[in-house]
Each structure stands twice: as C-alpha cells, then as structure tokens.
Amino acid sequence: MSRRILVTGAAGFVGFHLCRELLARGDAVVGTDNLNPYYQVSLKRDRLAVLGEEKSFSFIQAGLENPDQMKDVFSKGPFDVVAHLGAQAGVRYSLEKPMVYVESNLTGFINILENCRHNRVPHLVFASSSSVYGANVKMPFCETDTVDHPVSLYAATKKADELMAHSYSSLFKLPVTGLRIFTVYGPWGRPDMAVYKFTKAIFEGTPVEIYNQGDMKRDFTYVSDIADGIIRVMGRAPQPDPAWDAALPAPDTSYAPYRIYNIGNNRPENLMKLVDLLEKAVGKKADRRLLPMQAGDVKETAADISRIQRDFGFAPKTTLEEGIPRFVEWYRGYYKL
C-alpha cells in the first residue's frame, strides 16, 4: 500500500537515495532541504532533478531551524512516516561553525519533534550517528554501550537528539526510532567525506591526506544498504518494551515507544585498503600524505548490527571491493572524466 512520507534532507546524500528507493516502491514523498552551501549546491540540485522526474515527489525548500517553515512543510501531510535525515553534517566543520550545529541539529530537531507531536505522526525515524560513541574503544560499538564522552560538537548534538527524542516519546507517546549510521559511501556521495575526497585527489594528482599516519579503520557502508535498513525500520513503529527495567536501564530501548539501532556494515576496513581500492578503480597511483590525527576524530569505528538484524532482517550486501568501483564509475560519469 502506498504511503505518504516526509523526508528531511532530501537533497543530501542519504536522503536522496532514500527518496529514490521509496519512490521506486510506489510511495509518495515530500522532500525538504535548506540547500545550504556546506558543499556545492549544484550537486544537491542535480540530485533533486533526478527525484523530480517522479510525479509522486514534491520538494519544499525550508530550514529546519525556522518554525514557520517547518509548520508549512508539515501542513502538506498527513504523513505515515517522517524520516528526519536533515542536519548539519561533518565532524571537522563543527570546530569552525558551532552555532550552525546548534541551529540545525538542536533547534531544528525540536521543530521536527514538535510538529510530529502536534500532527500525531505515527512514526518518526531520525538519523543519529556512529560519532556518538566518541572516546569508546571497545569494539564493535553496541547500542547498550554508554555514549557519554563525545569528542566533537557534532557528536554531542546527535547524542542530544537521542535524548530529546526519548523525552518526546515518553511525554507524548510519540513512536521514535533513532539510527546510528556508520560511514556511508557510494554514488552521489558527499564531497567532504574520505571516499569522495580521495577519489578527487587521485584524479587531479593532488595529495591524498591520510590522518593518524593511515592507522585508522572505518565501518564503510554502501549507501543502498543504508537506505534498505532505513526503509525496513520505517515499516514498523516501536512499542513500549515490557522488559525494560528502571533499576538496570538499557539505553537502546524504553518503557516508551522508543528504540536506538546501529546501522552499518559490521566490517571495519583500514584507510590504506580504501586507497588501494581507489587506485585500482581509477587506474592511477595516489600521492599519499600521512598526517597526525585531527582533533575531533576517532581511530576506529565498528558497528554491532545484531539488533537491527534480529528485529528487521537487515543484512548489508555490498563489500568495499564491490562498492568502490561503483562509486568511481559514477564519479567519472558525473564529472565527464
């Protein structure tokens, strides 16, 4: 049965792919985005042009932090599900422009929660981040781990979003699911992320800057696998957990209709292997520049995805060896190389 779905951040990387998958399934999608210049707006507009080829897609340019604009977006409902993927992304940028993160990720998220509450949205699914695990070193990261030591403002805003979501779920019985998304890559990717930046540098013959002397691992997850996981979760709203124990409070579940899940590949890969695969796909050697660790960064991420596998049958299908050539093929075509 066709659903009517609101996707925030629809011109963004994951939001674009989620919208495409939903439209292919026959859903009607209302997308919103502020089209900010954090990276080239032309890429965002090109994504929207692809989505605009579908009659069941409509777009509204609006800022999350603007309550009047968000109220107007929600007036296009009612919505069966809200997928909130809009946010100010980027760990390093949060060191330079902290107030942008406060406006988008905190004020913006409160506006989403308020509109979901007053419009009685049956299910809010929102993007958290693997960055909430912060200074944790126990691998893989599990939803039952404490996440009280963020190492960037971006991570702190995502942790705050999880807490605000729980308060609304508890107070207003709003069904909410938060997804801690691990490092995403693939066609139409974000230019500020490693796969895109490294590819660009190799094609242009400029240095590939690899931090912590290359001793870093990431749980790289192909974007179509992420979209599949989000859609699976969107299909079933959480219920209060009768087994939740206030004396031993599990952080990923609740007496309220609230859940937190990791969504990743469960297969961390070294950055040097990523560069090897990119060199092979591009057909050109990289000028590797090994640098110290950057502030706000972490050495390794790895997702325990056993809970989302158990509850939704999520199983990522794409290995890095398969996904990197697909990304490079898209990059060649998009930039006509």
Q: Does a structural domain hold residue 284?
A: no
58 three-class SS: strand
Q: Does a structural domain hold residue 118?
A: yes
Active-site residue among 38, 101, 133, 154? 154
What residues have CB less than 8 Å from 113, skipping those under 6 apart?
124, 164, 165, 168, 174
Q: What is the pTM of this model?
A: 0.96
Average the pLDDT over each of 133-142, 175-184, 207-216 and give the range with the smallest value: 207-216
The DSSP string of 174-220 is --EEEEEE--EESTT--TTSHHHHHHHHHHHT-EEEEGGGG--EE--
Using pLDDT thresholds of 50, 70 and 90, give the confidence band for residue 293. Answer: confident
Q: Does a structural domain hold residue 158?
A: yes
Provide the residue range defining the domain that includes 230.
4-183+221-265+302-317
Cβ-contact 126, 165 below 8 angstroms: yes
Q: Does a structural domain hold residue 116?
A: yes
The confidence score (pLDDT) of residue 296 equals 75
List the one residue out of 66, 104, 68, 77 whose CA is nearest residue 7: 77
Q: Does a structural domain hold residue 24?
A: yes
Residue 183 carries which side chain, given as an amino acid letter?
T
- Paired tokens of 219: 């749980």
CATH code at position 22:
3.40.50.720
Q: Which residue has the tokens 């509109």?
A: 115
Q: Does a structural domain hold residue 205?
A: no
Is residue 196 part of the annotated active site? The answer reads no
pLDDT in tens, 147-166: 999 999 999 999 999 999 99
| Total domain count, the chain | 1
Q: Does a structural domain hold residue 202?
A: no
Helix ranges (DSSP H) in 220-304 = 223-234, 271-282
- Paired tokens of 36: 């900010």
Q: Report the first-to-last Cα separation within the chain, whole angstroms.
A: 42
Q: Does a structural domain hold residue 226?
A: yes
